[in-house]
């Protein structure tokens, strides 16, 4: 039952820096898919990219909620030192391997402090540029196309409501394997 803990980042300082730059680039250019240069050995249901993002950003100040099981929670608690939140609503970072929680159930921030909202990491089956959604908004010159396979059917409608709550709202990072793309709340999303 008690499998040995797998390692986190091989070079914690450099790997976290490289990973952060990829996430920053993803958040600044929504829909562009970034490949992470350095990945930890994450336990099974955790996608390497999602695990890398949490190791880069989560610590004792950020409650994390995840549905990836006890082994993943123990791994994260050991390497990031973050508290594990009982419900997604209390989390600063929420990670969904299965069906993601409804965006409206996550922390939205307030009108005066919209930055206090949650960031949702969703593990999807695949990410590809050039097809699928049509994205517009800040960070995008004309439009970006992003195909994210494996999201629930109602996600577009949920995202439209999330976008309309601006400046409140949740930011989403989609992870597939060692790749990720971000959807900040400013991004408009049309089914392609």
Give SS3 for 12.
helix
> Taking the complex as a whole, how short is the minimal distance between the CB of residue 65 and other proteins, in angstroms?
16
Burial call 75-100: b when 16+ CB within 10 Å, e when fewer: bbeebbebbebeebeebbbbbbbeeb
> Taking the complex as a whole, how short is the minimal distance between the CB of residue 44 and other proteins, in angstroms?
26
d(CA 4, CA 181): 31
Q: How far is CA 2 from the centre of its chain?
A: 28
> Taking the complex as a whole, how short is the minimal distance between the CB of residue 19 and other proteins, in angstroms?
10
Query: Rounded to the nearest 5°, which phi and psi values hold at 147?
Result: -110, 115
Indicate the residue among 71 and 75 with the shorter CB distance to other proteins.
75
- The residues that touch other proteins, with contacts defined as CB under 8 A, are 12-14, 16-18, 20-21, 23-24, 27-29, 56-59, 61-62, 92, 110-112, 114-115, 117, 119, 138-141, 166-167, 171, 184-186
Indicate the residue among 13 and 191 with the shorter CB distance to other proteins.
13
Residue count of the chain, please give it. 192
Indicate the residue among 104 and 115 with the shorter CB distance to other proteins.
115
Indicate the residue among 22 and 71 with the shorter CB distance to other proteins.
22
> Taking the complex as a whole, how short is the minimal distance between the CB of residue 94 and other proteins, in angstroms?
14
> Taking the complex as a whole, how short is the minimal distance between the CB of residue 23 and other proteins, in angstroms?
7
Q: Name, in order, each residue with C-beta under 8 angstroms of 192's C-beta and a sequence gap of 6 or more.
A: 131, 132, 133, 134, 145, 147
Indicate the residue among 71 and 103 with the shorter CB distance to other proteins.
103
């Amino acid at each position: 039952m008690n499998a040995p803990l797998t390692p986190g980042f091989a070079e914690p300082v450099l790997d976290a820096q490289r990973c952060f730059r990829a996430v920053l680039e993803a958040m600044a250019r929504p829909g562009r898919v970034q490949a992470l240069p350095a990945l930890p050995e994450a336990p099974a249901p955790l996608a390497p990219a999602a695990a890398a993002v949490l190791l880069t950003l989560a610590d004792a100040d950020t409650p994390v909620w995840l549905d990836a099981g006890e082994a993943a929670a123990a791994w994260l608690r050991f390497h990031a030192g973050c508290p594990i939140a009982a419900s997604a609503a209390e989390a600063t970072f929420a990670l969904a391997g299965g069906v993601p929680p409804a965006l409206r159930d996550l922390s939205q921030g307030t009108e005066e402090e919209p930055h206090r909202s949650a960031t949702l990491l969703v593990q999807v089956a695949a990410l590809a540029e050039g097809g699928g959604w049509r994205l517009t908004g800040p960070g995008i010159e004309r439009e970006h196309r992003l195909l994210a396979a494996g999201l629930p059917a109602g996600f577009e409608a949920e995202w439209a409501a999330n976008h309309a709550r601006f400046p409140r709202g949740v930011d989403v990072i989609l992870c597939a394997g060692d790749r990720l793309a971000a959807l900040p709340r400013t991004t408009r999303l049309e089914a392609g």
